[in-house]
């Protein structure tokens, strides 16, 4: 037998559908909120871990900057000490230089040349001497030019004078001359 329901079916109204949609919406938003909450906590954990890493790296950089500063100070001290050592060595060499120059000068002067005046100012040298022979003057000048301690040596005026030695009535030829140039201590 067939039953026929002649009663009208209850129509779900707008209000009930709204309630169902609202429940789904709230549940969906709640689910999204929970997901976002856990994602946010995870990201907060990563951010705090990165912040700690950045802080450690900054501390390492600060430590290295201190070390770099100390290294620069040591380098400056080393440069200062090297300059002082160079100055000391220079002073030692300058102290010995004139001695070596005078020692060599004594060896360069021929037997027939007599030095009357030796004047040195800074690196300039001027000397007055005398001799009996022009060849001895030329030998002396050549010796000075070949020396490592003298440079730009030039012969000035050569004057012939008569010389009377002590009680000896013999007159001898006497040549006075001047030599100028520069001294090199190294």
Residue-wise pLDDT tens digits, 89-110: 888 877 777 778 888 888 889 9
User: Is 7 inside a domain boundary?
Assistant: no
CB neighbours (10 Å) of residue 132?
A: 15
Determine the average pLDDT of the residues in 20-27: 88
User: Is 47 inside a domain boundary?
Assistant: yes
Determine the average pLDDT of the residues in 108-122: 89
Q: Which of 88, 79, 82, 129 is nearest to 109 (CA)?
A: 129
pLDDT of 28 > 80? The answer is yes
- Which pLDDT score, from 0 to 100, does residue 164 have? 56
The pair of structure tokens assigned to 11 is 């129509």
Q: Which of 136, 118, 119, 143 is nearest to 175 (CA)?
A: 136
Q: Which residue has the tokens 């329901």?
A: 5
User: Is 122 inside a domain boundary?
Assistant: yes
- Which pLDDT score, from 0 to 100, does residue 170 have? 46
User: Is 104 inside a domain boundary?
Assistant: no
pLDDT of 169 > 70? The answer is no
**13 versus 140: which is more confidently predicted?**
140
Residues contacting 125, CB < 8 A, separation 6+: 118, 119, 150, 179, 180, 181, 182, 183
Cα distances (angstroms) measured from residue 182 to each of 27, 105, 148, 151: 106, 13, 11, 5
The pair of structure tokens assigned to 7 is 């009663």
User: Is 68 inside a domain boundary?
Assistant: yes
pLDDT of 4 > 80? The answer is no
User: Is 51 inside a domain boundary?
Assistant: yes
- Which pLDDT score, from 0 to 100, does residue 158 have? 84
What order do you get walking across the sheet with 171-183 strand by strand?
113-121, 124-131, 171-183, 150-164
- The number of domains in the chain is 2
């Amino acid at each position: 037998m067939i039953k026929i329901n002649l009663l009208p079916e209850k129509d779900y109204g707008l209000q009930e559908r709204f309630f169902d949609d609202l429940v789904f919406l709230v549940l969906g938003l709640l689910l999204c909120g929970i997901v976002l909450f856990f994602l946010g906590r995870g990201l907060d954990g990563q951010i705090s871990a990165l912040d700690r890493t950045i802080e450690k790296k900054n501390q390492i950089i600060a430590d290295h900057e201190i070390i770099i500063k100390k290294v620069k100070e040591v380098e400056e001290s080393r440069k200062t000490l090297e300059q002082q050592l160079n100055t000391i060595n220079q002073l030692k060499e300058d102290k010995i230089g004139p001695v070596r120059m005078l020692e060599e000068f004594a060896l360069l002067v021929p037997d027939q040349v007599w030095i009357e005046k030796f004047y040195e100012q800074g690196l300039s040298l001027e000397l007055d001497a005398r001799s009996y022979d022009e060849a001895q003057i030329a030998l002396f000048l050549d010796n000075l030019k070949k020396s490592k301690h003298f440079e730009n040596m030039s012969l000035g005026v050569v004057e012939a004078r008569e010389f009377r030695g002590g009680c000896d009535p013999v007159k001898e030829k006497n040549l006075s001359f001047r030599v100028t140039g520069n001294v090199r201590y190294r």
